[in-house]
Amino acid sequence: MEKRSIYADNAATTQVSEEVLNAMLPYFRTGYGNASSIYKLGRDAQLAVETAREKVAAALGAAPAEIFFTSCGSEADNWALKGTVETMAKKGKKHIVTSVFEHHAILHTAQYLEKHGIEVTYVPVSNKGLVSPEDVKNAIREDTALVSIMFANNEIGTIQPIEEIAAVCHEKGVLFHTDAVQAVGHIDIDVKKMGIDMLSLSGHKIHAQKGIGALYVRKGIVLPNLIHGGAQERNKRAGTENVPAIVGLGVAIEAATKNIAEKNVSITAKRNRLIDGILQIPYTRLNGDRDKRLPGNLNISIEGIEGESLLLMLDMYGICASSGSACTSGSLDPSHVLLSIGLKHEIAHGSLRLSIEDNISDDDVEYIISVLPEIVAKLRAMSPVWEKMMKGESYE
Ligand code: PLP
């Protein structure tokens, strides 16, 4: 069989698009001015930064003054949580609410805050991978400073009821932040309509370069400075702007948020074909709600195999994919996301995440469906867990 090259790991990162690269290039050589400089070269760089800010704001239904550029999505998450806590703790609000299956940029920040006297409630998720607004409501206390619930999960792609959660927070007078790193550019987002107070996003998930992100902060919310120094980002985040990266983010978000609904028709059809095809393999299950999920995400547990071996084997067949198991985190623990939806350790270890975009051909979709059964059969033939399962013995 001919070797292919299929990239099905867009939730991990994306290729910088030609459009983005072309927009960035002038700012490395001819337009290299410091955006704080007063002469034309500097003013042009400043204009490019502000144009990008307008594009990011427009994509979210926000005002440009509500957008702060950061170095990545993780930084935006850290700033939202630590910044809010720093301000609110002075008012006696020392409690935050988040969910058990957030990205580590949120979870590890929450754990850090716990070490510094902040109480954190981690709301559970259902076995379909959804957070209940009712659970969020019940977790909010008199001293709650912030609720942070991700827009879409990075492993299983489930889309949370963000508007309802925001409404619950506002009913109780609590600020609401969402980590929308996986959602921006894939589903329509309007921060005003949805009642979002703060939102994190990242460029490299939407065909901009790695190392650029942004935090939307609703007008009226004052976060403490993230980096002290110069007056960049309205005095909040010092450091000479990364003009090419910011320009790239502006172009990327504009392109990603154009005609989302139209693009999603074809992506969803390909994703559903993959789900149906892969679920033909015995002892497999789809993780996360089938409909309330990102159009390009599928996450399937395949019993009796190790995710890591599966990924290596897929690589040999020319397919780049991801798994919720050990290799992604560098630890031996299975994914906290898969455990949070009730999967047993052994099953969580053997999961496959494919995150596709519209550029995957129907032929490549069929190729994945056709090679997976033989890959799984090979791995199961070598698996002691599978052998025990087939004999009906306990393998925990
Ligand atoms: N939040 C979510 C949901 C993510 O998927 C990621 C990246 O995978 C991040 C935050 C971190 O973004 P960045 O890589 O830009 O720091």
Is 358's pLDDT higher than 60? yes
147 beta partners: 97, 176
Q: Report the alpha-carbon distance of residue 225 to residue 294 in Å, rounded.
A: 33
pLDDT category of residue 346 using cuts at 50, 70 and 90: confident
pLDDT at 83: 98
Please give the Cα distance from 282 to 314 (Å, whole number).
18
Q: Which atom of ligand 1 is nearest to the CA of 202?
A: 15
Please tell me which residue, 393 or 361, carries the higher pLDDT value.
Answer: 361
Residue 103 CA, ligand 1 centroid: distance in Å? 7
pLDDT digits (tens, 9 = 90+) for 299-328: 999 999 999 999 999 999 999 999 865 444
Q: What average pLDDT does the chain have?
A: 95
- How far apart CA 172 and CA 141 sit, in angstroms, is 9
- For residues 69-86, give the mean pLDDT: 98
Is 327 annotated in the active site? yes
Which residue out of 16, 148, 205 has the highest number of ligand 1 atoms within 8 Å of its CB and is therefore the one to mutate?
A: 205
- Ligand 1 center from residue 3 Cα (angstroms): 31
Closest-lying ligand 1 atom to the alpha carbon of residue 212 = 15
Nearest CA to ligand 1 atom 8: 12
Q: What is the pLDDT of residues 230-288, one digit of tens each?
A: 999 999 999 999 999 999 999 999 999 999 999 999 999 999 999 999 999 999 999 99
Rounded CA gap, 139 and 155, in Å?
24
Task: Find the catalytic residue in 72, 169, 320, 327.
Answer: 327
Are 296 and 10 in contact by the 8 Å Cβ rule? The answer is yes
- How many angstroms is it from 74 CA to the middle of ligand 1? 6
Ligand 1 centroid – CA 179 distance (Å)? 8
CA distance 342 to 149: 19
Residue 301, sorted as left (phi over 0), alpha (psi -120 to 50) or beta, turns out to be beta
Segment 110-169, tens digit of pLDDT: 999 999 999 999 999 999 999 999 999 999 999 999 999 999 999 999 999 999 999 999
Instruction: Spell out which residues line ligand 1, taking CB within 6 angstroms.
Output: 72-74, 77, 103, 105, 150, 154, 179, 181-182, 202, 204, 213
Q: For residue 179, give Cα distances in angstroms to 103, 138, 185, 337.
A: 8, 21, 13, 15
**Could you write out the DSSP letters of every residue in 80-148?**
HHHHHHHHHHTTT--EEEEETT--HHHHHHHHHHHHTT-EEEEE---TTS---HHHHHHH--TTEEEEE
Task: Give me the DSSP letters along 186-242.
Answer: TB---HHHHT-SEEEEEGGGTTS-SS-EEEEE-TT--PPPSB-SS-TTTTTB-S---
Say if residue 4's pLDDT is above 70.
Answer: yes
Give the distance (Å) from ligand 1 centre to CA of residue 379: 31
Q: What pLDDT shows up at residue 1? A: 59
For residue 329, pLDDT beyond 60:
no
Q: What is the pLDDT of residue 327?
A: 46
Among 372, 59, 15, 2, smallest CA distance to 207 is for 15
Question: What are the tokens at 71?
Answer: 């170095």
- Residue 63 reports pLDDT greater than 90: yes
Q: Which of 75, 102, 154, 186 to mutate to test the pocket of ligand 1 (most atoms within 8 A of CB)?
A: 154
**Residue 219 in this model has a pLDDT that exceeds 90:** yes
Label residues 153-177 b or e (16+ Cβ within 10 Å = b).
bbbbbbbbbbebbbbbbeeeebbbb
Region 343-360 average pLDDT: 92
The helix/strand/coil state of 320 is strand
- If you measure from the C-alpha of residue 298 to the centroid of ligand 1, how many angstroms do you get, rounded to a whole number? 18
Cα distance between residue 142 and residue 138, in whole Å: 11
Confidence of residue 215 (pLDDT cuts 50, 70, 90): very high
If you write DSSP's letter for every residue of 282-295 in order, what string do you get?
SSEEE-S-SSSB-T
Per cent of the chain over pLDDT 70 is 96
**Is pLDDT at 331 greater than 60 in this prediction?**
no
| 85-127: pLDDT as tens digits | 999 999 999 999 999 999 999 999 999 999 999 999 999 999 9
Q: How far apart are the first and last CA of the chain?
A: 37
Residue 380 to residue 273: CA distance in whole angstroms: 24
Mutate to test the pocket of ligand 1, among 103, 106, 210, 294 (most ligand atoms within 8 A of CB): 103
Query: pLDDT at residue 2 above 90?
Result: no
User: pLDDT by residue (tens digit) across 159-209?
Assistant: 999 999 999 999 999 999 999 999 999 999 999 999 999 999 999 999 999
Q: What pLDDT does residue 318 have?
A: 97
Nearest ligand 1 atom to alpha carbon 13: 8
Atom of ligand 1 nearest to the CA of 153: 3
